[in-house]
Amino acid sequence: MRTPDCFDRVSLGVFPTPIQRLDNISALLGVNVYIKRDDLTGLGLGGNKVRKLEFLLADARRQGAEVVFTTGGAQSNHAMLTAAAAARLGMRAILILKKRGVTACLGNQLLERLMGTQVIFMDTDDYADIYAEMDRLGAKLGVPCYKIPCGGSNALGTLGYVDCAREIAGQGPRFDHIVCAEGSGGTLAGLALGAKLFLPGTRVYGMMVDTDPFDEITPRLMRGAAELMQADVNIGPGDFELRDMCGPGYAIASEAGNAAVSMMAEREGIFLDPVYTGKAFAGLVAMAREGRFAPHDNVLFVHTGGAGGLFAVMQEN
């Protein structure tokens, strides 16, 4: 098997990220809750996309790309971090974003302004239109271009979270459950595949913050990553569990999510975001209250970042 460290990678972040016990929330919920601080990955304002971009941009560089295209919503953390990574690596990022959500100069839009990133808004609901526009613009520019899909979620990007599972296995304690947000799929798919390989017996849960068919997307990404790694594993629906935490819609704050953002801020001094991690942590709280965890279980919440959204989306609601 080719583990993730057999693949080319550019160094963008600071790893391993810490794992901390949330003493106050553990006492409140009656279960041992830990947090994996992937909000502290060390590029931009941190977040999960840094792990994926280390693999994706190594591939871009190997192919001689001068321009990196990516996409997402108006407040995409992934797009902002791609621009930050490109700046570090001396590449030019062009972001073609859906004209959905908060397009004002707040949050990630402000950060992109500060980096001088070229941002194009496209009035479409279909990413196929955006990828076609990347091809058109790339041909016009006439320089080598590299396209990164929404959220960095392809087989190569997924390796970032297979590697995160390996990192967790080396840090301890032993976790019975790992919980993360699911937006484009790569994080959950990587953790679920990584748990099969490096964390036997650990259950992995994806808290869905969008309405895409994650029951199909997740195993497809897991299979793609397993194929790259030449890993001999059987992937099936039992490898992860999904829960719908989307509420009123993608990138629209929910009541449960906002309550979780407040709980984490008030009791632990850690900031979640309204689009991803607040909704995901609300899912963990709901499971604890439903008695889904045994009192001595160790539950790990993966804080995937999202600080940019905190300064744009919550203000709107």
Ligand X SMILES: *Cc1c(COP(=O)(O)O)cnc(C)c1O
Residues of this chain that interact with ligand X (CB under 6 A) are 47-48, 77-78, 151, 153, 181-188, 273, 276-277, 304-306
CB of 276 to ligand X, least distance (A): 3
Q: How far is CA 243 from CA 52, 205, 209, 303, in A?
A: 23, 8, 9, 17
CB 110 within 8 A of CB 85: no
CB nearer ligand X, residue 138 or residue 186: 186
Q: How far is CA 43 from CA 33, 80, 81, 106, 311, in A?
A: 26, 10, 7, 19, 18
How far is the C-alpha of 152 from the C-alpha of 158, rounded, in Å? 8
Write phi, then psi, for 94 (nearest 5 degrees).
Answer: -120, 120
DSSP state of 239: G
CB of 291 to ligand X, least distance (A): 26
CB of 277 to ligand X, least distance (A): 6
Instruction: Residue 140: count other Cβ atoms within 10 Å of its Cβ.
Output: 7
DSSP state of 307: H
CB nearer ligand X, residue 33 or residue 45: 45
Q: What's the distance, Cα to Cα, between the start and end of the chain in Å?
A: 47
76 catalytic? Reply is: yes
CB nearer ligand X, residue 70 or residue 138: 70
CB of 191 to ligand X, least distance (A): 9
Q: Which helix (H) or strand (E) holds 107?
A: helix 107-115
Cβ within 8 Å of residue 249, ≥6 positions away: 211
CB of 187 to ligand X, least distance (A): 3
CB nearer ligand X, residue 58 or residue 302: 302
Residue number closest to ligand X, CB atom = 306
Choosing from 11, 26, 76, 184, the catalytic residue is: 76
How far is the C-alpha of 133 from the C-alpha of 189, rounded, in Å? 28
How far is the C-alpha of 86 from the C-alpha of 111, rounded, in Å? 14
CB nearer ligand X, residue 203 or residue 279: 279
Residues annotated as catalytic are 76
